[in-house]
């Protein structure tokens, strides 16, 4: 028996006939699927959209296929999700795959191995395409080919499925950035992956990691420039390995959204928040970070063992922070990995993470040059203290992520904003020499540089406090904050958005409007940026008013898993945000992948949806 994947509603058993078989004969591999209600799998007929059931022999198999996969009489229907006529099976189904045993086969025992690929769906949602490994023993005996096993069985006559009922012009390609680049060849694919990595650096999701990176490597700065350079390069390599390895392994074991779910997990966010606060206390100078002496002795050949382990941990932190907002290119590549591909996903993720890691390596090198400068006045200690305040502020973002997922409604926009403003005030007071930190002094005379920097933090304190009046701050700052109105004391604001897909489509049918489906997450900073900066623009708001608005959270709520699976099944990506304009019957008319600052491009996408996909 072979099981598709954890929680799969489909189980498979396989048998061979005849057994034993003789060299040159055709053996039939019988595959029987048991499908739990209310699920179904699609037939072997290939159509645009759903994944047809298929079988592939293992590459090293001595047998060869002799004809296509034969199926029992399937059921037929119009699939509203894909907008095409499909064949499907419910309950139990038997498939038969004719296989030819080579004439050169020697008597003895063989193993027939292969993979069944299928997709399980209900009337409302689909699971990602899955693969079930098949392995059946086959005994080979000597003898002439028997007439009854000389030819493959004849396929039963079935009625061909009717042609699609919708016009091709209304169909929208589900190919993403990665799919298009892959068809253009390897070099184009690697170039697109590299450029996508650079573009990901411009998204608000990675901004909190900049002060954390600088503060960590400032703490690690020492007197050995060569060691500092090697530590920074180790950090960059760690980002590449972890981003690639973590993403692909989790996609293969937990599905395409595996890394994204781990990154959004409240316990993971709280763990990192606690660790950053721990690091900040060390930066304040209250204690020194040291490994146990036994571990240090065993790692003496590495030099600064704590530094290397810390750099590795920082690479993991950056990787998980980035996965909270999976971008377009990575979203498609992880779906390939979840479906069993490896070569193209590895190449794409390595190229992407190389570009993504490069600027952070430069940030890691920056403290090395600071450390080589004169240390008159203890300025390096002051730099560490300032960065410690910033790191506490960044930790609040991770705590806020957990609050949003669990819906505690404790960390409101106002509370986070007020905390950041207070931290800026304390930083300014410290730089002015009016606050003692650890064993630091309160000098009578403060240098001009410290006074200038103190003024910057004082202005930032006032600016953030201004946001407490309800004023909107700079777009990236707003994207890092919890949504406006979030909190225990906040009144539920009226909204045009519904968070239930079925209810939203029902509204669309009643009103005769198309629906905009927004795949989003409560921890997705890029999603908040779009909601707060793109949606209010007059040209965008005018078009949204003509649509039924559906917002589907993939990281929080009872139906998060269903909506994640639906996004993967329908659009072959897990990137957030992701937008689709669908007709009242569920037919996709237009899609838009990821965050954009290009208003014209987003308006063109909405216009295409309003025009019926034309």
Residue pair 399/482 in contact (Cβ under 8 Å)? The answer is no
Burial of residue 318 (CB within 10 Å: 0-12, 13-18, 19+) is buried
| Cβ contacts of 356 within 8 Å, gap of 6 or more | 197, 198, 200, 201, 239, 243, 322
Tens of pLDDT, residue by residue over 210-235, are 666 766 666 565 555 666 677 778 88
Residue 285 confidence (pLDDT):
75
DSSP 107: S
Residue 377 confidence (pLDDT):
44
Tens of pLDDT, residue by residue over 49-69, are 788 898 988 877 888 888 888
Q: In the chain, what percentage of residues exceed pLDDT 90?
A: 22
CATH class of 2-140: mainly beta
| Cβ contacts of 463 within 8 Å, gap of 6 or more | 473
Interval 428-439 mean pLDDT: 84
Residue 80 confidence (pLDDT):
67
For residue 367, is pLDDT > 70? no
Best CA proximity match to 355, nearest among 433, 244, 483, 440: 244
CA distance 206 to 239: 13
Mean pLDDT of the chain: 79
Residue pair 353/323 in contact (Cβ under 8 Å)? The answer is no
Cβ–Cβ contacts within 10 Å for residue 187, how many? Answer: 9
The pTM for the full model equals 0.57
Residue 301 confidence (pLDDT):
42
Cβ–Cβ contacts within 10 Å for residue 300, how many? Answer: 8
Best CA proximity match to 337, nearest among 323, 347, 324: 347
Bridge partners, 515 (sequence order): 548, 582
- Where b means 16+ CB within 10 Å and e means fewer, 235-259 reads bbbbbbbbbbebbbebbbebbbbbb
Burial of residue 505 (CB within 10 Å: 0-12, 13-18, 19+) is buried
Measured between alpha carbons, how far is residue 172 from residues 125, 482, 600 in Å? 19, 34, 20
Look-up of token digits 């072997």: 44
497-610 CATH pick, 3.40.440.10, 3.40.50.10490, 3.40.50.2300, 3.40.30.10? 3.40.30.10
Interval 167-183 mean pLDDT: 56
Residue 228 confidence (pLDDT):
67
Residue 53 confidence (pLDDT):
92
| Cβ contacts of 194 within 8 Å, gap of 6 or more | 351, 352, 354, 355
CA distance 97 to 10: 19
Residue 369 confidence (pLDDT):
56
For residue 19, is pLDDT > 80? yes
- The residue with greater pLDDT, 246 or 103, is 103
Residue 296 confidence (pLDDT):
37
Could you tell me the residue ranges of all domains in the chain? 2-140, 176-373, 379-490, 497-610
CA distance 458 to 486: 27
For residue 452, is pLDDT > 80? yes
Tens of pLDDT, residue by residue over 296-342, are 344 334 334 456 776 777 777 777 777 766 666 777 777 666 666 77
SS3 label, residue 518 = strand
Residue 288 confidence (pLDDT):
59
For residue 111, is pLDDT > 70? yes
CA distance 525 to 595: 10
Burial of residue 448 (CB within 10 Å: 0-12, 13-18, 19+) is exposed
SS3 label, residue 260 = helix
Best CA proximity match to 240, nearest among 329, 368, 367, 360: 360
SS3 label, residue 188 = helix
Q: In what order do the strands lie in the sheet with 588-593?
A: 497-498, 548-553, 515-520, 578-582, 588-593
Bridge partners, 138 (sequence order): 110
Q: Tokens representing 569? A: 């099944």
DSSP 215: H
Tens of pLDDT, residue by residue over 119-153, are 888 877 777 788 899 999 999 998 888 888 888 88
Look-up of token digits 């025992």: 109
Q: How confident is the model at residue 205 (pLDDT cuts 50, 70, 90)?
A: low
For residue 359, is pLDDT > 50? yes
Residue 62 confidence (pLDDT):
83
CA distance 550 to 9: 28
Cβ–Cβ contacts within 10 Å for residue 62, how many? Answer: 17
DSSP 584: T
DSSP 495: -
With residue 498 as reference, give the H or E element that holds it: strand 497-498
CA distance 272 to 270: 5
Tens of pLDDT, residue by residue over 488-501, are 554 444 468 999 99
């Amino acid at each position: 028996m072979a099981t598709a994947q954890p929680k799969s509603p489909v189980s498979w058993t396989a048998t061979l006939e005849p057994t034993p078989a003789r060299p040159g004969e055709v053996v039939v591999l019988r595959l029987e699927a048991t499908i739990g209600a209310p699920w179904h799998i699609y037939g072997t007929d290939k159509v645009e959209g759903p994944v047809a059931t298929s079988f592939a022999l293992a590459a090293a198999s001595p047998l060869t296929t002799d004809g296509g996969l034969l199926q029992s009489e399937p059921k037929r229907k119009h699939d509203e999700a894909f907008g095409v006529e499909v064949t499907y099976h419910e309950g139990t189904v038997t498939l038969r795959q004719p296989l030819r045993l080579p004439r050169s086969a020697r008597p003895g025992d063989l193993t027939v191995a292969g993979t069944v690929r299928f997709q399980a769906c209900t009337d409302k949602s689909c699971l990602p395409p899955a693969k079930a490994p098949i392995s059946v023993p086959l005994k080979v005996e000597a003898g002439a080919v028997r007439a009854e096993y000389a030819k493959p069985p004849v396929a039963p006559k079935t009625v061909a499925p009717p042609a699609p009922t919708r016009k091709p012009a209304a169909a929208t390609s589900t190919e993403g950035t990665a799919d298009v680049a892959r068809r253009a060849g390897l070099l184009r694919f690697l170039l697109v992956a590299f450029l996508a990595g650079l573009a990901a650096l411009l998204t608000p999701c990675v901004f909190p990691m900049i002060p954390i990176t600088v503060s960590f490597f400032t703490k690690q700065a020492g007197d050995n420039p060569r060691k500092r350079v090697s530590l920074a390069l180790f950090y960059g390599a760690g980002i590449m390995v972890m981003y690639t390895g973590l993403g692909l392994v989790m996609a293969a074991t937990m599905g395409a959204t595996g890394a994204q779910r781990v990154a959004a997990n409240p316990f993971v966010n709280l763990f990192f928040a606690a660790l950053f606060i721990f690091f900040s206390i060390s930066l304040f100078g209250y204690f020194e970070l040291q490994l146990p002496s036994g571990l240090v002795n065993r790692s003496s050949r590495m030099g600064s063992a704590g530094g290397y382990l810390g750099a590795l941990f920082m690479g993991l932190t950056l990787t998980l922070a980035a996965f909270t907002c999976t971008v377009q290119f990575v979203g498609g590549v992880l779906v390939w990995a979840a479906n069993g591909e490896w070569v193209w996903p590895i190449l794409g993720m390595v190229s992407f993470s190389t570009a993504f890691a490069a600027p952070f390596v430069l940030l890691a090198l920056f403290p090395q040059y600071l450390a080589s400068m004169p240390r008159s006045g203890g300025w390096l200690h002051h730099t560490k203290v300032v960065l410690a305040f910033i790191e506490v502020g960044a930790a609040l973002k991770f705590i806020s992520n957990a609050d949003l997922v669990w819906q505690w409604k404790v960390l409101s926009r106002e509370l986070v904003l007020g905390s950041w403003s207070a931290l800026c005030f304390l930083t300014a007071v410290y730089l002015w020499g009016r606050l003692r930190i650890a064993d630091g002094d309160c000098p009578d005379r403060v240098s001009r540089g410290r006074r200038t920097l103190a003024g910057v933090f004082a202005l930032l304190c006032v600016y953030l406090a201004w946001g407490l009046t309800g004023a909107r701050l700079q777009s990236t700052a707003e994207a890092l904050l919890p949504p406006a109105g979030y909190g225990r004391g906040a009144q539920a604001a009226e909204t045009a958005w519904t968070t239930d897909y079925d209810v939203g489509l029902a509204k669309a049918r009643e009103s005769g409007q198309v629906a905009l489906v927004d795949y989003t997450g409560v921890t997705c900073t890029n999603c908040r940026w779009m909601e707060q900066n793109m949606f209010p623009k007059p040209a965008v708001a005018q078009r949204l008013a003509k649509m039924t608005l559906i917002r589907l959270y993939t990281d929080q709520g009872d139906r998060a898993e269903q909506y994640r699976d639906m996004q993967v099944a329908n659009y072959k990506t897990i990137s957030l945000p992701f937008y689709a304009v669908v007709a009242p019957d569920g037919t996709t008319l237009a899609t838009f992948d990821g965050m954009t600052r290009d208003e014209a491009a987003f308006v063109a996408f909405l216009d295409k949806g309003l025009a019926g996909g034309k």
